[in-house]
Structure 1
Amino acid sequence: MDWPHLHPAAAWIFALDWAIRIGALLWIPVRSAPAAARSWLLLIGFVPLLGLPLYLAFGQPWVSRLRRERQANASRVIAERQQPLGHLRWTPHPDSIADDVARLVEHTGAFMPMTGNAVHLDDDYARSLRGLLQDIAGAREHVHLLYYLMYDDAVGRAVTDALVAAAARGVHCRLLLDAVGAKRGLRAFAPALRAAGVEVHAMLAGGLAWRRSARMDLRNHRKLAVIDGRIGWTGSQNLAEPEFIPGVPNREVVARVQGPVVAQLAALFASDWYLETGQVLALPAHPPAPAGASPAQLLPSGPTYPFANARNAVVSLIHRARRELVLATPYFVPDDATQDALEIAALSGIDVRLILSERNNQRLTAWAQDSYLDGLLAAGVKVALHRPHFLHAKFLRVDDEIALVGSINLDIRSFALNAELGLLCYDPAVVAQLRRIEADCLAHARLLQPQAWQRRPRWRRSLAGLARLADSFL
């Protein structure tokens, strides 16, 4: 049999094409989680010359050695600084849901559960912004803000004016903003802020600078504020008007906290400041005095933390529910462990409710999300679609015992790629606050009916299945 003669250039391309495929088959499953490996192998198998450079750029949550070393140093200091604070440690009952969860979060995130806090949850967008601005206006020593997004709108201007006024009073103001999420706010307001004496830094800077820090699409998605080391804010709300995406007003949940847990927020801000600048900020010698009776604990996560700690904490919480489990997220693209945990909980008789947004600002994510709902509905999970707002809030409630609020979405990007922040509250009174918010969310939602969902057009099923192949990239 005579083989067709190939031009030398074509032969080289043919050989390179198959070398990439074979190399990917041997290399990627060792370096990636199974779901991500399948997605990358599928892409490279179809278009090797396109898939390889994309994999090299986005295939691994790569973080520079310098950032990893700085994170390890910061976590070590945080753990050491907590050792003398045993009198503030909250110890759950050995048989409670919180016992294992609190130890897991401390082991992987460095922060211990601390008692003596006052926690107020709020889902009124305008009221929570007014509260933050009022706290900045009352600052006397320092204001530390860390946000994923700051827009060039009225809210961004109001925050800028508040920081400029605080700096004029002699308050030391520092602002950390994600380089991509807050690009417009940095461009519009950073010059005036710096001229007024506010220290402004962009986190995970894009462009060519990414090669010195981390993979270019890794983002700092946290939202937190610390005022005078006495008051803290965290949650899902950014520094932007609720309708910064036209036609899709956001609904959020934020927490205003006082007490010892504010020291944890201050330490996390100092940790991220150190990661970005190399500058070590002085922390107060003593945490704030007790301001209430709520036990609380921070859950920081991201690619510089071990063991996919946000995902593991969420899965642990799901498995520990005994009666009720309520989760809200704008983006639901779970990994296998989270999907399985939810289905097992529902099949075990737990009342599992998942609140999603009927409107979504991420089209591909919304398509992929649909593909996960068949298994959940079949297992007995109640899926509610919130409207008319875009439900950007992220929260989780386990029975009447634990509430989790913050920036953590139930998607692979949030679990593996973004720097995130959750606040765990182990107080039935705080859980009752979340119950009221949750009830209002459900009152403005429609329950997805399994039979109707199964009758959706075939093209929607196919589109969802195709989008799901990109779950590790979303």
Structure 2
Amino acid sequence: MFDASRLALTYLLIEWVIRLAMVVILPMRRSPEAARSWLLFVLFLPVPALILYRFIGRAQFPAWRQARFADDQPFRQQVARDLAADGTEQSEIQQLAETLGGFPACAGNSARLLSNYDGTIAAMIEAIDAATIRIRLQTYIFADDRTGKAVVEALARARERGVPVHVLVDALGSRPWAKRSMALLRQAGVEARLVLPVRFAPLRRARTDLRNHRKLCLVDGRIVFVGSQNIVNRDFKPGIVNDELVARVEGPVVAAFDAMFASDWYLETGERLDALPIPAPPGSSVHQAMPSGPDFGTTGYERLLVELVHRARREVTIVSPYLIPDQALITAVKNAAARSVSVNLVVSQVVDQRLVSYAQRSYYQELLEAGARLHGYRRHLLHAKSVAIDDTIAVVGSSNVDMRSFALNAEISLILHGADAVAPMLEILRGYLECSDELTLPEWRARPQTSRLLENLARLVSPLL
């Protein structure tokens, strides 16, 4: 005979076992913000929370992948030693970035910043068409649209010349196009792999949303395109046009980016790719590659960004389409503003992810009250990710200012050191500010109550986004 009361009691006991167990488990190796969000979820809905935790609860890869990353470490370290052989004296920030990402700053580089979307694709294709040794391309999105087909055609021409081509495409980021895009690449004779294929195994030990968000186009081991731009049409989302920022870099630093591609390829395939000699110096700028992500076991980009803001003396400019700062960064921004540092945060008025936008907006009042200046870029979706500190250091790459880029995604950044290298970035940032509307504290306080409610609700889950 069915006993509903016994079933209800059993379910209640299960809920309390989950709650008590999660109180112990959740705070371990997790930020206070994320732990609070999970604990709140567990408090009200313990069983659904446990199920969700099985899929996205652990920001780490399976043991086999961690072992493979460690196995590849000697290769990356050798490249780092070769780069350090130029004798460039490392500043404290450069030492920090090397500790976090594995590669030292090196001199003899040159960079050109590209902000024209179609012009950047054309520049990549031009470099691909001039390749004679090899091509390596890594992206979060590779579509089979006009842009994607143009790149595939260039890669096919390279293969016809006998140039080896390797391509890595994130499986989740490219999911709407992956089957068709991979078929096009393979038809062109390209060695292509999907990165981190999504498998919903019930006992999977890694989050299914740990992604490889890096964007790299490497040509002949001497040129790299690094930044925010994917291989997809600028208006691939209906009603939204993207503005991006990419650096075209030549010089010894390219070897570090090349090593990270080879490391990612090894993680996915178990196959080692050959390294080329360190490129000859075509310029005089000091640059540094800094990869980050779950493989490194620390929130590398977040730690670098917090330290940069703490060290600012005159001006900080941070550009990110998704701005969900953690407490450490909020404190750094508040302290900078209290030192009379001009803190400019540039976000996009155009929104492509509504929940993320509400979570982001929940931090505006605190930032404005601290003295930071918020600028809403009005032209398009500003998908660029960049940072400038005073006139001495700048960063461009794939990392947003949110938990996803801090802890969950594999990211890659180019750090520009020195006034001459940073000057072009400052010019681009001034252009962003000219195309933005500044949000004032009185304006923000006058927003509707419904917006406040949605923002507060979204903030509860922001550490989980």
Is the Cα contact below 8 Å between 2:215 and 2:226 reproduced in 1? yes
Go from structure 1 to structure 2 and tell me whether the alpha carbon gap of 1:209 and 1:14 turns closer, same or farther (over 3 Å shift). Answer: closer
Is the Cα contact below 8 Å between 2:111 and 2:249 reproduced in 1? yes
Match of 2:440 in 1: 449
Q: Following the alignment from structure 2 to structure 1, what is the Cα–Cα distance between the partners of residues 83 and 367?
A: 43
Q: Following the alignment from structure 1 to structure 2, what is the Cα–Cα distance between the partners of residues 213 and 165?
A: 41
* Matched ranges for 1:267-278 at <5 A: 267-278=259-270
* Matched ranges for 1:21-32 at <5 A: 21-32=19-30
**Identity of aligned pairs, percent?**
40
Match of 2:402 in 1: 411
Instruction: Determine which of 452, 458, 461 is the counterpart of 1:461.
Output: 452
* Matched ranges for 1:281-300 at <5 A: 281-284=273-276, 286-300=277-291
Go from structure 1 to structure 2 and tell me whether the alpha carbon gap of 1:141 and 1:310 turns closer, same or farther (over 3 Å shift). Answer: same
CA offset digits 1:279-325 (Å, max 9, x no partner): 111101x2000010110111100011133111101111111111011
Match of 1:247 in 2: 239
3-state SS in 2 of match to 1:292: coil
Instruction: Determine which of 77, 80, 100 is the counterpart of 2:78.
Output: 80
3-state SS in 2 of match to 1:410: coil
Match of 1:150 in 2: 142
3-state SS in 1 of match to 2:52: helix
1:227 and 2:219 matched? yes
Which segment is superposed worse, 379-388 or 178-187?
178-187
3-state SS in 2 of match to 1:200: strand
Is the Cα contact below 8 Å between 2:108 and 2:285 reproduced in 1? yes
Q: Following the alignment from structure 2 to structure 1, what is the Cα–Cα distance between the partners of residues 227 and 451?
A: 33
Shift of 1:456: 1.0
Shift of 1:81: 3.3
Go from structure 1 to structure 2 and tell me whether the alpha carbon gap of 1:144 and 1:213 turns closer, same or farther (over 3 Å shift). Answer: farther
Shift of 1:85: 4.3
Q: Following the alignment from structure 2 to structure 1, what is the Cα–Cα distance between the partners of residues 246 and 199?
A: 32
* Matched ranges for 1:41-80 at <5 A: 41-80=39-78
Q: Following the alignment from structure 1 to structure 2, what is the Cα–Cα distance between the partners of residues 424 and 211?
A: 39
Go from structure 1 to structure 2 and tell me whether the alpha carbon gap of 1:211 and 1:149 turns closer, same or farther (over 3 Å shift). Answer: farther
Give 1:45's aligned amino acid: L
Match of 2:124 in 1: 132
CA offset digits 1:88-141 (Å, max 9, x no partner): 24224xxxxxx2211011112110101000111111111111000100111111
Q: Following the alignment from structure 1 to structure 2, what is the Cα–Cα distance between the partners of residues 150 and 276?
A: 17
Q: Following the alignment from structure 2 to structure 1, what is the Cα–Cα distance between the partners of residues 398 and 450?
A: 33
3-state SS in 1 of match to 2:76: helix
CA offset digits 1:127-169 (Å, max 9, x no partner): 1110001001111111100000112210011011111111111
Which segment is superposed worse, 184-193 or 31-40?
184-193
Is the Cα contact below 8 Å between 1:371 and 1:465 reproduced in 2? yes
1:171 and 2:163 matched? yes
Is the Cα contact below 8 Å between 1:343 and 1:375 reproduced in 2? no
Q: Following the alignment from structure 2 to structure 1, what is the Cα–Cα distance between the partners of residues 209 and 155?
A: 29
Instruction: Determine which of 405, 417, 427 is the counterpart of 1:426.
Output: 417
RMSD over aligned Cα atoms: 1.6
Instruction: Determine which of 173, 177, 195 is the counterpart of 1:185.
Output: 177
3-state SS in 2 of match to 1:7: helix
* Matched ranges for 1:195-344 at <5 A: 195-208=187-200, 214-284=206-276, 286-344=277-335
Go from structure 1 to structure 2 and tell me whether the alpha carbon gap of 1:31 and 1:230 turns closer, same or farther (over 3 Å shift). Answer: closer
Match of 1:389 in 2: 380
3-state SS in 1 of match to 2:135: strand
Is the Cα contact below 8 Å between 1:150 and 1:184 reproduced in 2? no
3-state SS in 2 of match to 1:72: helix
Is the Cα contact below 8 Å between 2:399 and 2:413 reproduced in 1? yes
Q: Following the alignment from structure 2 to structure 1, what is the Cα–Cα distance between the partners of residues 137 and 289?
A: 16
1:398 and 2:398 matched? no
Q: Following the alignment from structure 2 to structure 1, what is the Cα–Cα distance between the partners of residues 438 and 149?
A: 39
Q: Following the alignment from structure 2 to structure 1, what is the Cα–Cα distance between the partners of residues 205 and 196?
A: 7
Shift of 1:361: 0.5
Match of 1:362 in 2: 353
CA offset digits 1:165-220 (Å, max 9, x no partner): 11111010011000011223321132232133210000000134797784211110
Q: Following the alignment from structure 2 to structure 1, what is the Cα–Cα distance between the partners of residues 137 and 87?
A: 26
Match of 1:96 in 2: none
Match of 1:36 in 2: 34
Is the Cα contact below 8 Å between 1:204 and 1:210 reproduced in 2? no
Q: Following the alignment from structure 2 to structure 1, what is the Cα–Cα distance between the partners of residues 109 and 170?
A: 29
Q: Following the alignment from structure 1 to structure 2, what is the Cα–Cα distance between the partners of residues 158 and 139?
A: 16
Is the Cα contact below 8 Å between 2:54 and 2:204 reproduced in 1? no
TM-score, normalization: structure 1? 0.95
Match of 1:106 in 2: 98
Q: Following the alignment from structure 1 to structure 2, what is the Cα–Cα distance between the partners of residues 417 and 306?
A: 11
Q: Following the alignment from structure 2 to structure 1, what is the Cα–Cα distance between the partners of residues 304 and 359?
A: 24
Shift of 1:17: 1.5
Match of 1:9 in 2: 7
Shift of 1:27: 2.1
* Matched ranges for 1:87-102 at <5 A: 87-92=85-90, 99-102=91-94
* Matched ranges for 1:367-378 at <5 A: 367-378=358-369
3-state SS in 2 of match to 1:472: helix
3-state SS in 2 of match to 1:332: coil
Go from structure 1 to structure 2 and tell me whether the alpha carbon gap of 1:11 and 1:42 turns closer, same or farther (over 3 Å shift). Answer: same
Shift of 1:75: 3.1
TM-score, normalization: structure 2? 0.96
| Structure 1 runs not aligned, ≥5 long | 93-98
Is the Cα contact below 8 Å between 2:139 and 2:214 reproduced in 1? yes
Q: Following the alignment from structure 2 to structure 1, what is the Cα–Cα distance between the partners of residues 402 and 454?
A: 19
Shift of 1:84: 4.3
CA offset digits 1:392-445 (Å, max 9, x no partner): 000000111001000010001110000001100103122111111111111111
Give 1:339's aligned amino acid: I
Match of 2:429 in 1: 438
Match of 1:95 in 2: none
3-state SS in 1 of match to 2:61: coil
Q: Following the alignment from structure 1 to structure 2, what is the Cα–Cα distance between the partners of residues 128 and 106?
A: 29
